[in-house]
Amino acid sequence: MIASITGTVVALTPASVVLEVGGIGIAVSVTPQVAVAARAGDRLALHTSLIVREDSLTLYGFLDGDQRDIFEAVQTVTGIGPRTALAVLATLSPDGLRRAIASEDVASLTRVPGIGTKGAQRMIIELRDRIGQAPRDEGDGDWQVLLREALGSLGWSDRDAESAVAAVVPSAGPEPDLSTLLRAALQHLDRR
């Protein structure tokens, strides 16, 4: 396996870069974000994943190891190959994907070209325990965790609880009152 590659960028397209390494030009498939960041003549270091097929060897490159690990994990989902896995990373950041999986956000996943509703549901089921947890957002205070847990204990799903918490965040203020926010969250859920 080729785990990383460093070379001089000699050619660019929206979907690939060619790196000159030791006098050899190596084509690497990348997300548009990587292609936009690269400049001809610059040195570029990429974490890579080599996909071997009967008729091809394709090298995929990423700016960090986390993107590569997510790329490889997404391919373990039934029906998803490397092109679709690359499209996932072109649409969602690794943490964005983790959040979408954790909150069962089918709408975010179906924004990826090639992923429909059934594919998004399959991704949620098959990746839930494989890709780790998304880091907590800045400002995600203890009151938000407590509010989610309170809603969960009242029988609301994680997704509904997350939606309700997001709806009451703007009215929280610097020192939120949990009972007031719980009432507001329940009113939000009742209106749906």
Closest alpha carbon to 131 in 88, 81, 87: 88
Closest alpha carbon to 123 in 110, 113, 134: 110
User: Which residue, of 62, 78, 100, is where some domain finishes?
Assistant: 62
CB 151 within 8 A of CB 160: yes
Q: Taking the model in full, what pTM does it have?
A: 0.69
| pLDDT tens over the chain, length 192 residues | 799 999 999 999 989 999 999 999 999 999 988 988 899 999 999 999 999 999 999 999 999 999 999 999 999 999 999 999 999 999 999 999 999 999 999 999 999 999 999 999 999 999 988 887 766 554 445 677 777 877 877 777 888 888 888 888 777 766 677 777 888 888 888 876
Residues 78 and 48 in one domain: no
pLDDT tens digits, 63-76: 999 999 999 999 99
Q: How many domains does the chain have?
A: 3
Closest alpha carbon to 112 in 126, 100, 127, 103: 100
pLDDT given for residue 139 in this prediction: 46
Residues 41 and 84 in one domain: no
Residue 136 lies in a domain: no
The enclosing domain of 100 has a CATH number of: 1.10.150.20
The enclosing domain of 35 has a CATH number of: 2.40.50.140
Residue numbers of the domain that contains 100: 65-127
Residues 158 and 182 in one domain: yes
Give pairs for 124-133: CB < 8 Å, separation 24+: 126/76, 126/77, 126/78, 127/73, 127/74, 127/76, 127/77, 127/101, 128/101, 128/102, 130/73, 130/76, 131/70, 131/73, 131/94, 131/97, 131/98, 131/101, 132/98, 133/98, 133/102
Q: Is the dihedral of CA 144, 149, 151, 157 positive or negative?
A: positive
